[in-house]
Amino acid sequence: MSKNKNYWQANLKLMTICLVIWFVVSYLFGIILVDQLSKGRSTRLSR
């Protein structure tokens, strides 16, 4: 029973870390850096 509990604790910890990274990259960077990302893309297309 202890191995099963340890497995699920490690699994939930890993999933939580992955979800936090996904949230930060997709939402916060997308909102905060939208101007910089758009500016960089448009300058590359104009060359």
What is the rounded end-to-end Cα distance, in angstroms, of the chain? 62
Q: Is residue 46 part of a domain?
A: no
Cα–Cα distance for residue pair 10/27, rounded to 1 Å: 26
pLDDT for res 40: 67
Total structural domains within the chain: 1
Q: Is residue 12 part of a domain?
A: yes
pLDDT for res 31: 84
Q: Is residue 27 part of a domain?
A: yes
pLDDT for res 30: 81
Domain hosting 10: range is 2-39
**How does pLDDT run across 1-47, given as a tens digit for each residue?**
799 999 999 999 999 999 999 998 888 778 887 877 777 655 555 54
CA atoms within 13 A on the CB side of 41: 6
Per-residue b or e along 5-34, where b marks 16 or more CB atoms closer than 10 Å to that residue's CB:
eeeeeeeeeeeeeeeeeeeeeeeeeeeeee
